[in-house]
Amino acid sequence: MTAVTRTRGRYEGRHRRLPHATATTTGVARQWLALSRRSLHTMWVHGQLFVAVLAPLIFTVGFYLPLRLVMRFQGIDYAQFVMPIIVLQAMAFTAISAAHRAATEASNGMKARFQTMPVAAGVPLAARLTGCLVHSTVSLAAALTYGHVIGFRFSGGVGQAIAFCAFALLVGFTLTAGADALGTATRSPEVTSQALTLPQLILGMFSSGFVPVTQFPDWAQGFVRNQPISQFAGSMRALADGTATLGQLVPSFVWCAGLIVVFVPLAIWANVRRG
């Protein structure tokens, strides 16, 4: 065997062990990591991570203080009762921020620039959603810290506490996917913020997050009980108290699954379409 033959064999052996698909996957992972770092850097520079810590404090003070005495007279531990809606509002605020970032990138030409570069189609969206996950995690940690100060406790054990946090982040992901789709499609930070704020306020106030369903008029109780915010808040309340059952959690997961089935394809479509 000549030296040239041996060299050719070693070259071919190395390339058989490193298929093209592996190199492509590595490239996509590097693109995702680089754009995720860029997203987090942007959030840090513009103070969005600071707002992620501040917003739950505002929600905690604004939601807990006005009704705590009224609920105490009714025998309700309001810190335990109101904590889920504080967390859900923090997740909704994360979604509004996500829509604003997506609309900004679509309006300032960054989306078009990514489409002309050798960047995988779904990477910019995945990077923004990664940044949103970090934003949601920071907001969740801040909300739980403030909740601990007002008296909120996990009494269902470590497992259900982890489930509480995981479910909150799942809701946050669901909302941010829809918000990203809206922001990318409209390309207007102002329009997206206004379009998302009103439904958040209406569904939040018209839910069992602040007061029990029985305190609403009879004609409204059916809607209040079954709308997604009430289902999410009830499931999180049961997880925190350690009283959650599978039957109680199923409606919340069905709502999440249904919204994900709608929002994620819309987000992908809005990000890959040109123009």
The larger pLDDT score, comparing residue 21 to residue 118, is at 118
3-state SS record for 12-37: HHHHHHCCHHHHHHHHHHHHHHHHHH
CB of 237 within 8 A of CB of 147?
Answer: no
Quick one: what percent of the chain has pLDDT higher than 70? 91
Cα–Cα distance, 178 to 94 (Å, whole number): 12
H/E stretch holding 190: helix 189-205
CA 39-44-47 angle, to 5 degrees, is 125
Q: What is the pLDDT of residue 190?
A: 79
At 153, which amino acid appears? Answer: R
- pLDDT tens, position by position, 55-101: 999 999 999 998 888 888 888 899 999 999 999 999 999 999 999 98
H/E stretch holding 175: helix 158-186
The larger pLDDT score, comparing residue 251 to residue 23, is at 251
Give the global pTM: 0.86
* Mean predicted confidence (pLDDT) in 119-136: 90
| Domain limits, the chain | 21-272
Whether pLDDT at 199 is above 60: yes
Distant-in-sequence contacts of 165-169, Cβ < 8 A, 24+ apart: 165/140, 167/232, 167/235, 167/236, 167/239, 167/252, 168/87, 168/88, 168/91, 168/136, 168/140, 168/236, 169/133, 169/136, 169/137, 169/140
Whether pLDDT at 150 is above 60: yes
Q: What is the pLDDT of residue 249?
A: 93
Q: What is the pLDDT of residue 2?
A: 52
CA distances from 177 to 48, 62, 117, 226, 270 (A): 18, 27, 23, 22, 11
Q: What is the pLDDT of residue 20?
A: 40
Within 8 A by CB and 6+ apart from 187, the residues are 103, 106, 107
**Among 84, 49, 91, residue whose Cα is nearest residue 64:** 84
Q: What is the pLDDT of residue 156?
A: 85
Q: What is the pLDDT of residue 240?
A: 94
Cα–Cα distance, 81 to 78 (Å, whole number): 5
Averaged pLDDT score across all residues of the chain? 87
* Mean predicted confidence (pLDDT) in 147-156: 93
- pLDDT tens, position by position, 160-194: 999 999 999 999 999 999 999 999 888 888 788 77
Q: With bands split at pLDDT 50, 70 and 90, how would you rate the model's confidence at 142?
A: very high
- pLDDT tens, position by position, 8-60: 444 444 444 334 444 477 888 898 999 999 999 999 998 999 999 999 999 99
Of the listed ranges 94-103, 195-204, 213-222, 227-236, the least confidently predicted one is 195-204
H/E stretch holding 224: helix 218-226
At 206, which amino acid appears? Answer: F
H/E stretch holding 128: helix 123-150
